Amino acid sequence: MTLRLQIIVIVVAVLAILFTVLLIKKDRLGLRIAMPWLVVFVLIILFAAIPSLMDWFSGLIGIYAPVNMVLFLAGIFLMIIIYSLTITVFTNRKKVRDLIQKVAYLEEKIKKEESSETDDR
């Protein structure tokens, strides 16, 4: 990795972290849901700042070329993030369904009460 590339990668990753923190502060993103991304950005900075770390780690998990390890890790992280998003989507779907069902029931109840009130008069 050339020094120039190292600097570019680090600057972009730091900007990404700052952007994420800004969004969290503005309440447009939750810390919990953004956490995996922050971990990814920090890892990118670490690997770019200390290239020998990349060689050591790829040796550790048995991958010849460090670049392959980067792609491999990127794939794994994206899968984890997308999988957790799938769970979140379903949870939200369920919550929306529960709300729609509750509202329908309450609406009918209100209507029934109103009509029985007018009947009393």
Which alpha helices (DSSP H) does the chain contain, by range? 3-25, 31-49, 51-61, 66-120
61-86 burial: b if 16+ Cβ within 10 Å, else e: eebeebeebbeebeeeeeeebeeeee
Cβ(47)–Cβ(70) below 8 Å? yes
Question: Are 44 and 89 in contact, with CB atoms under 8 Å apart?
Answer: no
Candidate segments 28-36, 47-55, 71-79, 103-111, binder of other proteins by CB under 8 A: 103-111
Rule CB under 8 A: say whether 95 interacts with other proteins.
no
Q: How far is CA 19 from the centre of its chain?
A: 14
Q: How far apart are CA 73 and CA 51, in angstroms?
A: 15
* Contact call for residue 114 and other proteins (CB under 8 A): no
What's the min distance (Å) between Cβ of 115 and other proteins?
Answer: 10
Verify binding: residue 19, other proteins, rule CB under 8 A: no
Is 108 an interacting residue with respect to other proteins (CB under 8 A)? yes
Residue among 35, 39, 96, 110 that touches other proteins (CB under 8 A): 96
Q: Is 105 in the site for other proteins (CB under 8 A)?
A: yes
CB–CB of 35/41 below 8 Å?
no
- Is there binding between residue 110 and other proteins (CB under 8 A)? no
Give the x-and-dash track for 47-86 against other proteins (CB under 8 A): ----------------------------------------
* Interface with other proteins (CB under 8 A): 96-97, 100-101, 103-105, 107-108
